């Protein structure tokens, strides 16, 4: 089950186009809190993982309900939660450790090392204090809304 969160109200059959995250980052530029991290991730991807899709051009989804619900409870409580499916199974995709998407000082010697770990699915694979791994699918495919899930408390 793939899960997507957004503040937009969607209906079954609606398509979520890839590229929204990148558009937000580019629009805000260096003022966006994730600007530098995304620049480093993109630079390492281009040089060392060119077959992986650019996060700036992709759609995002959680790969399981447990991780999506954890993220919703702690980060995105104003969002709606949707079950989605990948429209184009041949589109470039990557599953990354959302909790390890940025440099972790006790683990990574540099932001570039963190980016390599993210793109290579290297170790460690981080989890929340209550043991939830939060993996994200990044894909160049649009995502099709299957249905809206109830809000969990």
The 3-state DSSP class for residue 33 equals coil
How many C-beta neighbours within 10 Å does residue 145 have?
19
Note the pLDDT of residue 151: 74
Block residue for tokens 């051009």: 57
pLDDT in tens, 130-142: 999 999 999 999 9
Position 152 scores a pLDDT of: 58
d(CA 148, CA 84): 9
DSSP assignments along 74-131, one per residue: HH-TTSEEEEEEES-TTS-EEEEEGGGSS--TTT-SSHHHHHHHHHHT-S---B-TTS
Q: Give pLDDT < 50 ranges for the chain.
A: none
- pLDDT value for 102: 93
């Amino acid at each position: 089950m793939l899960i997507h969160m957004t503040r937009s109200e969607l209906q079954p059959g609606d398509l979520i186009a890839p590229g929204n995250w990148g558009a937000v980052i580019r629009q805000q530029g260096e003022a966006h809190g994730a600007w530098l991290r995304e620049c480093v991730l993109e630079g390492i991807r281009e040089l060392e993982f060119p077959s992986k899709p650019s996060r700036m051009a992709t759609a995002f989804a959680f790969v399981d309900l447990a991780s999506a619900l954890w993220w919703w409870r702690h980060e995105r409580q104003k969002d709606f939660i949707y079950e989605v499916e990948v429209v184009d199974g041949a589109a470039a995709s990557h599953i990354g450790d959302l909790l390890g998407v940025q440099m972790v000082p006790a683990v990574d010697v540099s932001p570039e090392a963190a980016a390599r770990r993210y793109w290579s699915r290297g170790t460690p694979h981080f989890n929340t204090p209550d043991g939830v791994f939060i993996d994200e699918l990044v894909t160049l495919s649009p995502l099709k809304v299957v249905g809206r899930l109830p809000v969990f408390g």
